[in-house]
Amino acid sequence: MNPSAALRGIDRLKQRCRTIQTGKTWLAKNVGFDDSEYRALLMRVAGVRSSKDLCDVRAAEDVILAMRKLGFPAASKAGKGDASVQGGEWRFVFRLPGERMSLGKKIFRCAQKIGAKQTPPVPVMSKAWVEGIARQATGLNAPGVAGKVSRKLETCDYDELRMIVQILESWAKKIGA
């Protein structure tokens, strides 16, 4: 291996280790991932106790992949917005008009809080789950079709969205999110 290729490999490993540290911080903040769980993940995935002991780019990438499965979002290529929203089912929130956008964002944040309290934790509850709660609590059923939501979140009016926010906030409070 030529010296410049070896340096590129070292740089890639350093970058992956920085990503692991960012992931550790993100998981601690968003899903309550503590240091002992982090060390157990490192030992299980890469066979090391500390990210400083990683000497292989592939092992570091495996650790990052394991963190992604726990909810750590991939870096955003667009450079704006929430990485867990971009390209996902929740991107409609940022296209809602006016006051509905602020309510849509509140619904998304509640879905994140509730998701973090699930076993195992998820980055955000699905839009279908939130629509199911809306169906049960607000009666947004299609006429004559039991259990089928006829209105998607993006088509709900201001009052319906406000009601959904209240329901999700009380649900989050109930589970300690």
Average pLDDT over residues 24-29: 86
What pLDDT is stored for residue 34 in this prediction?
85
What is the residue-averaged pLDDT of the chain?
80
What pLDDT is stored for residue 3 in this prediction?
55
Q: Is residue 135's pLDDT more than 70?
A: yes
- pLDDT band (50, 70, 90) for residue 56: confident
Average pLDDT over residues 145-172: 78
Q: What is the pTM of this model?
A: 0.49
Count CB atoms within 10 A of the CB of residue 9. Answer: 13
Least confident of 16-20, 28-32, 75-79, 107-111: 75-79
